[in-house]
Amino acid sequence: MQTSLRGLSFIIVLTNGNHITLPEVVADIVESSLMVEAAAMGIAKISFMAKNVFRVLNNDNVWWFSIMASKYGDFKIWSNIIPAKCSWFYRGLYYNAFHIRPFLWMNTINPNLTSFLQDPWYFEIPIACKPTYLNMNLDIERVLISDLVEANHWKFNLLQTLFGPIINDDIISQSIISYDLKNNWLWFPKTESTKLTAMIYAHFNQNNFEQNYWEGWRNVWHLKVAPRVKHFCWILLYNAVKTHEYLYRLNLGPQTFCSFCNLYTESTDHLFRTCSKTQVIWNMVGTIIKRYINLTDEIFSGHWILQGFSGNDTHTQSVIAATIWFIWKARCNRIFRDEGLDYHIIASRAIGHVREYSCTNSFQVRKYFIGDNFTFSDSPIILIASVYNLDGLIAGLGFITVDSFSNFIFAGSCGSPADSSFVADVRAFCFTL
């Protein structure tokens, strides 16, 4: 929360006991520690989205899928063709299914609900998609799973007639056959975890991390900027910044011109690199730091964060990241607050942000949220706390004021009657003001 007191601008942070409850700051620190590499986060997306794929395959009666199925048709997990003009969520289900389908297993098979050719009841993929030996004297198109089952057990003599004598009895005998149950799909690779998302994450993280690794992800988390700036750059490098063009691609808004120049469509690369207004900022930043800023490629390509490609050292990369962040803030302020574009303020704040964060000693980095998330321009900062005693219906109120380097300015405390923690928070706020 930001307020003004006697002409001074304050950042006010409400706390409860010893726990800071400023969502933006906490989210930045948590996300920066969890998302160590973007390759791992790509795997995390697959892991979380896989739950929805399993809900669809297991026919869990999810209402949103019924709507999508009526609009786009059946969910064909083994098809490589995504329905045209479908929603991004439905498209995401298909993309996710492409990644996890080699590791699916039908644990429970209902012969009446299972197709001989189109379901992977034996192999890891359907027979229709897998070159394999079959007895061509049989009419494969007319074979039913129920023909191969008797008393909820496989007829192995018929399976051998169909596939030949070399058949893996161990794999197929693990399936449960029941006419009373619906088909049930499981994740097949075994891991130590029992949760679906954890199993999928562990599998892909172990097998595919090295081949998906890109050096730029590590560079992002080593920039001399605040965690919120690193997170924003991570989103940028995925080309997922919520520009007008991005929202238009998702059918969430009209195609809109750039908020700065009002001449071209607001795409990510235009907003941060090719816009005439933005180029003035980059020229000013380069002049101040007396270094050449290489932004010859698209901003989301990530070449600017690879010194081997661009020649930008870590300090220059940090300045670029901070400038991108402050350009985005200026863009949002222009849209939502109708504020003018000040090139000098953006350039000076970006450079100052990197300078101040670089000067923060190692004891403060990642231990004090102020040094990680605020700059000198945000000072002073007030932290407000309240402790509520339910038995005595009394609360302790307090505040402390510091600058962006965590230097103490002044503080105060008192006791106050209160009948709830909410009242205690409100009275702490009023006492501070």
d(CA 304, CA 297): 8
Domain-located, residue 372: no
Number of structural domains the chain divides into: 4
- Any idea which residue has 């209902």 for tokens? 110
Give the pLDDT of the chain (433 residues) as one tens digit per residue.
433 333 333 444 444 443 333 333 333 333 333 333 334 446 666 777 888 888 888 888 777 888 888 888 888 888 778 888 888 888 888 888 888 888 888 888 999 988 888 888 887 778 887 766 676 677 778 888 888 888 888 888 888 888 777 676 666 777 889 898 888 888 876 655 567 778 887 777 665 544 456 788 888 988 999 888 998 998 899 888 989 988 888 777 788 899 999 999 999 999 999 999 999 999 999 999 998 999 988 898 889 999 888 899 999 999 999 999 999 999 999 999 898 999 999 999 899 889 888 876 555 554 445 544 555 555 677 878 888 777 767 888 888 887 655 677 888 888 888 888 888 888 888 888 8
Burial 342-354 (b: 16+ CB within 10 A, else e): ebeebbbbbbebb
Does one domain contain both 201 and 220? no
Domain-located, residue 171: yes
* CA-based nearest residue to 227, from 406, 22, 399: 22
Domain-located, residue 228: yes
Does one domain contain both 115 and 243? no
310, 330, 364: which is the final residue of a domain?
Answer: 364
List of E strands, 136-227 = 149-150, 153-154, 176-177, 184-187
Chain centroid offset of residue 169 CA:
42
pTM greater than the 0.85 cutoff: no
Estimate the crossing angle of helix 314-336 against helix 227-237, to 10 degrees: 90
Does one domain contain both 288 and 235? yes
Does one domain contain both 226 and 358? yes
Coarse DSSP helix, strand, coil percentages of the chain, rounded to the nearest 5 percent: 50, 15, 35
Cis-peptide, bond into residue 380, ω within 30° of zero: yes
Domain-located, residue 279: yes
* Long-range contacts, stretch 282-288, CB < 8 angstroms, 24+ apart: 282/323, 284/343, 284/344, 284/347, 285/319, 285/323, 285/347, 285/350, 285/351, 288/347, 288/348, 288/351
Domain-located, residue 24: no
364, 396, 415: which is the final residue of a domain?
Answer: 364
Does one domain contain both 56 and 14? no
Residue 271, exposed/middle/buried by CB under 10 A (0-12, 13-18, 19+)?
Answer: buried
Structure tokens that stand for 33 in this block? 């520690």
C-alpha distances in Å from residue 285, one per residue of 116, 124, 344, 347, 377? 65, 56, 9, 5, 18
Residue 199, exposed/middle/buried by CB under 10 A (0-12, 13-18, 19+)?
Answer: buried
Domain-located, residue 9: yes
Q: Contact, 426 vs 388, CB < 8 A?
A: no
Does one domain contain both 320 and 288? yes
Does one domain contain both 321 and 387? no
- Confidence (pLDDT) at 319: 94
- Confidence (pLDDT) at 282: 95
Does one domain contain both 54 and 173? no
C-alpha distances in Å from residue 93, one per residue of 46, 74, 433? 10, 12, 51
Does one domain contain both 277 and 351? yes
Neighbouring residues of 195: CB distance < 8 A, sequence distance ≥ 6? none
Vertex 24 angle, CA 343 and 359, to 5°: 60
Does one domain contain both 157 and 81? no
Residues in the chain: 433
Q: Which domain holds residue 162?
A: 111-180
Does one domain contain both 226 and 158? no
Domain-located, residue 320: yes
Domain-located, residue 26: no
Structure tokens that stand for 284 in this block? 């000013």
- Any idea which residue has 């795997």 for tokens? 43
Does one domain contain both 69 and 125? no
